[in-house]
Homo-oligomer: A and B are copies of this chain.
Amino acid sequence: MPKQALPVVDLDAVACCSPIAARPMDAAQAVVVAPMFKALGDPVRLRLMSMIASVPEMCVCDLTPAFDLSGPTISHHLKVLRDAGLVDSERRGTWVWYRVKPEAFRQLGALLDISTAPAADSAA
Contact = CB atoms under 8 A, between A and B. Distances in A.
A91 to B, nearest CB: 14
A6 interface: no
Given A21-B50, A27-B43, A99 B112 contact: no
Given A50-B23, A100-B114, A41 B38 contact: yes
A109 B106 contact: no
A11 interface: no
Contact of A38 (B38, B57, B99): B38
Nearest to A32: B43
B27 A47 contact: yes
Nearest to A117: B53
